[in-house]
Amino acid sequence: MEIDAELRRQITVSLAAAAVFIVGLVSIGVAFGGSTVLPEAGAFALVVLLAGFVLLMAGVGTYLIRADDES
């Protein structure tokens, strides 16, 4: 299977979005870690991160669909 420029762009953008999510998870763990229980503020940050990730992936999907239509 040959990887063309469009597929390469899709892979790169998707991996970058996933990397942002992982960095966010690590950041929450570092900021609110240190105990066995996640404090209320950490739980709220995690929910916000998950909601942001869903919106980010929707935006990435929209971008990739529109970028595919333009080429």
> What does the radius of gyration of the chain's CA atoms come to, in whole angstroms?
16
- Whether the pLDDT of residue 70 is over 80: the answer is no
pLDDT, one tens digit per residue, over 3-12 is 888 889 899 9
How many whole angstroms separate alpha carbon 62 and alpha carbon 71? 15
CA 28 to centroid of chain Cα atoms: 14
How many whole angstroms separate alpha carbon 25 and alpha carbon 48? 11
pLDDT, one tens digit per residue, over 15-52 is 999 999 999 999 999 999 877 888 999 999 999 999 99
Residue 56's domain comprises: 5-70
Three-state secondary structure string covering 5-61: HHHHHHHHHHHHHHHHHHHHHHHHHHHHCCCCCCCHHHHHHHHHHHHHHHHHHHHHH
Overall number of domains in the chain: 1
